[in-house]
Chain A
Amino acid sequence: MSSLLSQAVSRRSVLIGGAALLGTAGLSACSPGNAGSAGGSKTLNVAYFGTQQQADKTAKVADAFIKANPGVTVKFNGINGTDWNDFFTKVLTQIAAGNPPDIVSVATEGVQLFAQKKLAHPLDDFIKRDKDQLAPYFKDVHPALVEAMMYQGNLYELPTDFNAGNMYFNTSLLKKSGLEVPQADWTMDDFKSVAAAIKKNPDTVPFDWVVRLWGSWTSSMYANGGNLVTEGKYDGGDWLWSQFYSGDPAAQGRKGGWKWGAPTANSDAVVESLDLMVELANSGLSAKPDVGGGSTLQGLFSNNKIGMAIGGGFWAGGLHNAGMGPDAFDVQYFPKWKVQRHLFGTGGYGIFESSKNKDLAWEFLKSLVEPSAIDILTAGNSTTPSRRSMMTADRYAPTGPKNWKVFYHTLDKLPNTAPIPAPPYYNAMANALNQRTTEAMSSGRAKSALDGLQKDLETAAASIGS
């Protein structure tokens, strides 16, 4: 035993040690946690959706910005969660704790929530000021993505990436079933035929999906011309469309952001869509889905247990990481039902209203939409770049799929493609949707479950006063 350990500890030394410990703890507690400003330096805190490990990797995106702005540091704080819903909850808790970030990564799911609560700062004035600098960016980005980031006429984020709900195919299961990847104009009847053929393979599920708002049975709902809420547009945004999208047919009819109105969750088209999923499950063409983020689904898909699944560009990276080769899977549009309308979600970064470094944050946001930055943000095809020019064969050569053009063509060639419904009460909507979907799948009664969902949404909409 060392002499130090063998010495009897006196009461005084314990007291002194304890006092020192408490003093240190007190000092630690008083130290500023979020904004180092000593010596004129500035720190931008970014709330990032992901693990700290992923956040640290993504932080590379700030290297060029930091180099160009001596004395500035950018801190990416990883906030992990099962889905965007979970992420928002944690960000809101961080805000409640009096530690709001300067910048937050927000997807379509949260744009209106943050904007309606005046948490996010509109970018309009910044954009108008730096219009020349941003012209190449907007020229390269589909207006549907931009419009999805607007609320009541203001733009809150510059999209960096997006994902539309396309259909993925396990090519080896297709081959075993004597099939090929369907044509772009395939229909819901074709889909059922493909599923029936795949079903003949033992120990496989022809089609699987996850209970959630994005890319769930909601994809069928869009293809059937339905939605959970009435669709409308806020006025405004003309300055943006005339400035950056003048003459672009894809910008026609664009306004000041999507206005999600009265709930229509038990309308005929929506009920029919969920009924289809019940029918598929009952006939063995589909599994009864889990609630969640979809990583389990990717694991099963990569192990040749699933023939088809709804996925976006991010599935390419996910399946590659799960061990699938570039030719082991492929992608096509979601099948046409009444229409071939797709849903999508888009991601980007917004500035917090409470940020004391808004100008600096804006400079950083601009740097994030540079191709080199988006390249880092979408590394490994973990998601789809918002810039059309970045969609290249080289990008998808290591991961697949062969038919990668489908990702951006979903926006370019299917003009009725729209964002997921994400009103300011998105969290309540997502929870209610999950609950009512599992209820329908279990009971087999879609109408009854959707009547419940309708009531849930009406309550949620009323509670937020939107």
Chain B
Amino acid sequence: MSVSALRTESPGAASPRGPQASSRRRNANRAHRREAAFGWLMISLSALTILVFTAAPIVFTFVLSFFSWDIISPPEFVGLQNFVHLSSDTAVIHSFGVTALLAVLIVVLQIVIGLAMAILVQQRVSTWARSIFRTAFFLPLLVSAASISIVFSYLFDDHFGVINYYLQVLGLPQMQWLSSPGGATATIVIVAVWQQLGFVFILFVAALGSLPKDVLEAVSIDGSGPIRTFFSIKLPLISPTIFFASVIGLINAMQIFDQPYVMTKGGPGDATTTTVMLIYRTAFQNIQFGYGSAISVVLFVVLLAITGLQFYISRKWVFYS
């Protein structure tokens, strides 16, 4: 192409106001719109699913919390009556106490045991054995909590359970695992921790495996012992993982349902009646959907507040490098 030709073509080609450029821009816009439409179409099914099965029920629950509804009769608007009632309802307040106790025990034990196991596996075990451990610890997470709870309720049965049988064989006193308040709480914590430990374990194995080697080498050269290295170097470096595990763990644990529902039915008495169990019982068994929704809304607010508090406090102890 000659220089003159270039000169002839260039003004039109370079000019943003030229007719050809305008046409190209229109084409590009059209292509972009088509691309966007295709994108929307691709996510439409997921979006619709979330809208119908997640967003709409949340909105419906919020609206329903201002009504009294027994499914059969039309809903009756009661304003804030449900919230006023639940603020003095000892069963609701007690359920929040039970849930908080279980959640704290489960999350703390998961993190402590998960971290301890991850450290042991990271330090003492070869790479292939580590894979086996990772898989083994993760497997319970794939089984439904209800199935696991059924199996464990047989194991922990006061009279016919394997656990008490071996305690007896060892000459130890038999425990009232499921028929005493303390035993039932402990059993639920044991089962929940056992099942979900794998998730935390995997997180910590990954976090410990990705610690910067140069930092660890430098610490080693400086003569730091393993305990000092762990508390002063490793722990701060994996603090984001601990924070993540605690946030996710607490949100999950505050919604605990399967284990107490299957193993103790919330008993003995109301010793293990968690908030979600109470919501289920209120709404689906006592057929008070408005009141059940109000408890759900309060649980949502409590979870939101706890998570917000966790994020606020995390500024003081989580180390992002």
Contact = CB atoms under 8 A, between A and B. Distances in A.
Interface of A: 11, 15, 18, 85-86, 89, 92-93, 95-96, 117, 119, 205, 211, 287-288, 290-292, 300, 305, 427-428, 431, 434-436, 438-439, 441-443, 449, 460, 463
A95 B269 contact: no
B267 A205 contact: no
Determine which residue in B265, B269, B270, B288 has the highest number of CB atoms from chain A within 10 A of its CB, and name it: B269
Determine which residue in A11, A205, A438, A460 has the highest number of CB atoms from chain B within 10 A of its CB, and name it: A438
B287 A439 contact: no
Contacts of A434: 265, 267
A300 B154 CA distance: 11
B38 A92 contact: no
A217 to B, nearest CB: 14
Interface residues of B, number: 29
A92 B72 contact: yes
B285 A431 contact: yes
B270 to A, nearest CB: 6
Contact of B269 (A92, A287, A431, A442): A442
Contacts of A300: 160
8 contacts: A11-B38, A86-B285, A119-B72, A211-B265, A305-B160, A434-B267, A435-B266, A442-B181
Interface of B: 38, 41, 70-73, 158-160, 176, 178-181, 264-271, 273, 281, 284-288
Contact of B286 (A95, A292, A431, A436): A431
A19 B92 CA distance: 48
B269 A435 contact: yes
Given A86-B285, A96-B71, A442-B271, 14 more contacts: A15-B41, A18-B41, A89-B287, A93-B284, A95-B72, A119-B72, A287-B158, A288-B179, A435-B265, A435-B273, A441-B268, A442-B179, A442-B180, A460-B286
A428 B286 contact: yes
A85 B181 CA distance: 25
A10 to B, nearest CB: 11
Contacts of B73: 117
Contact of B265 (A11, A205, A291, A443): A291
Given A15-B41, A92-B71, A443 B287 contact: no
A71 B281 CA distance: 42
Contacts of B266: 435
Contacts of B71: 92-93, 95-96
B257 to A, nearest CB: 15
Given A89-B287, A287-B159, A435 B270 contact: yes
